[in-house]
Amino acid sequence: MSEIDVRDQIVESATKFFSKFGFYKTTMDEIARHIHKAKGVLYYYFKSKEELFNEVLRRELGTVKSELSKILAGEADSIVIMRAYTLARFKLLHKAVNYHETLKADFFEKYYFVKDVRDDFSDFERNQLSTLLQRGMDEGFFEITNVDSSVNILMMIMNGVEIPFFLQNKYPEYENTLDELASIIMVGLHSKK
């Protein structure tokens, strides 16, 4: 009975509620009641509601990162990988509903506590893209003067469209043009030969 990891139960329950109602409309008490425990036990495993939310986020983005890592580890040309990465990135993030809430952090001071998880994902992406672009240059597919700067621009574009996509629900509308976006970026990074 107590074999089941309670910490996991808590996170699963929290995920359910946070996904459905968001951070502020979810109470610690209902998370606890849902697994037939007293509220106090949550504080045995997590030191605060914010930390619990962060754990939920960490897992959500962890899935995204591992999926993306699979793509990045592929054998194909860096161009092919780059395209696949772009499409998958948005498709995966589209489903990461708790991540969406963190996008509000830039508007509402309330959400300061998600900074760490967001930064972590940003770092991940920056590293991966740097590696990929560098590899693309080594393979002769890309010809860019400054990798860091190109990565910055890619990140600017990708982060930029997240708010319209996920908070204003324009992702479905744009989903089928993402392939073309990827094309433009691909060619844009491509050597003029």
Partner DNA sequence: TAATTGACCAATACACCAATTGGGTCAAAT
Partner DNA sequence: ATTTGACCCAATTGGTGTATTGGTCAATTA
Interaction site with its own copies (CB under 8 A): 106-107, 146, 149-150, 152-153, 156-157, 159-164, 167-168, 174, 177, 180-181, 183-190, 192-193
Instruction: Measure the CA–CA gap between 99 and 74, rounded to whole angstroms.
Output: 26
- Residue 58 CA to residue 117 CA, distance in Å, equals 6
Please name every residue paired with 80 in a beta bridge, in sequence order, or none if there are none. none
142 DSSP assignment: B
Binding partner of residue 188 among its own copies, DNA, none, CB under 5 to 8 Å per kind?
its own copies
Residue 34: Cβ within 10 Å count: 15
**Structure tokens given for 52:** 């619990």
In angstroms, give the least distance from the CB of 30 to DNA: 8
Taking CB under 7 A as the rule, which mask of x and - marks residues 23-42 in contact with DNA? ---xxxx------xxxxxx-
Q: How far is the CB of 157 from its own copies (least distance, A)?
A: 6
Q: Where along the sequence are the contacts to DNA (CB under 7 A)?
A: 2, 6, 26-29, 36-41, 43-44, 47-50
